[in-house]
Amino acid sequence: MAPPAACTITPGSLDDLPRVMPLVASVGWPHRAEDVAPALALGKIWRAMDPDTGDLLGIAVWWPMEPNAGRVGLVIVSPDAQGHGIGRALMDRVLDDTGPRSLKLLATKEGQPLYEKLGFKSVGRSQKHQGVFEGTPKPHPTVARAGIEDLAAIARIDERVLGVNRGDIPRHLFETGEVNVLHKDGEISGFAILRPFGKGYVLGPLVAESEGDALALLHATVKPGLLRVDRFTEAEHLGERLNGLGLKGLEVTDIMVRGDWPAGDATLRAFAMASHAWG
């Protein structure tokens, strides 16, 4: 499909960050430049440009997740440019780029009809919980702060639960966050990462073998302040606990997949995601 006459679609780079941030703000997202920069640096970027003014009208990013999958995110079209096919043109370039890979994304209410036309199907839902946490962390005998020597084990667990290798993403999350791991029989069986995001913190990924283990990790990892957790909705007890901690359940978002997404290890479970973009 040819791009709309009013824009050109070209590859982008991290150098586009100063132009991307006003676009992010225009749709009301809370991301700081520090939140967006690694997403651009680790992803493959397509941008919609006004050929006359050079203004950035829209952006879409995808991240390879080997060997045969990818995530799509940061799909934004300026409110002033919406309704002219720019989102479709950006997604067409993403699909051309990704080829036969299976793709996963979180769909906004506005974007879901487009994704359905492109062959994406809803496979689950997530809910944002957000609020000011006024409590304190609760230590747990099986939970400890991770060290750099634990990164390889955390990356393996991340790949097992998701069914895909996320490349450098686990290392980035590890290096920018506070990481706790849960031990069973001398081995790491789950982890939680708390890192700065927006005006506060986001807790995720949260991965464990059981909801009880996930709650132990949650309570050992939280810290006072504005906190966000993007919970998979089937984790009902986690949702109840988050509400009880003052993290109110807000909007629910559809998780959509195109193609056959690889199956993860059924002995593990992801309870909360790192971000809407990365899952």
Alpha-helix residue ranges (DSSP H) falling in 86-193: 86-98, 112-117, 151-162, 169-176
CATH code: domain 8-100 is: 3.40.630.30
Query: Domain ranges in the chain?
Result: 8-100, 128-273
Note whether 8-100 and 128-273 share their fold.
yes
**Amino acid making up residue 85:** G
pLDDT (0 to 100) of residue 158: 97
What DSSP line would sit under 17-74, residue for residue? Answer: HHHHHHHHHHTT----HHHHHHHHHHSEEEEEE-TTT--EEEEEEEEEEBTTEEEEEE
The predicted structure's pLDDT at residue 66: 87
pLDDT tens digits, 233-276: 999 999 999 999 999 999 999 999 999 999 999 999 999 999 99
Mean pLDDT (whole number) for 68-94: 95
Which tens digit of pLDDT belongs to each residue from 110-135?
A: 899 999 999 999 999 999 999 999 99
Q: Could you tell me which CATH class the domain 128-273 is placed in?
A: alpha beta
Q: What is the pLDDT of residue 2?
A: 59
Q: What residues form DSSP beta bridges with 104?
A: 71, 257
List of residues 6+ apart from 196 with CB closer than 8 A: 34, 176
pLDDT score of 5: 66
The per-residue pLDDT for 67 is: 85
Mean pLDDT of the chain: 95
pLDDT value, residue 150: 97
CA contacts within 13 A on the Cβ side of 122: 13
Q: What is the DSSP letter of 247?
A: -
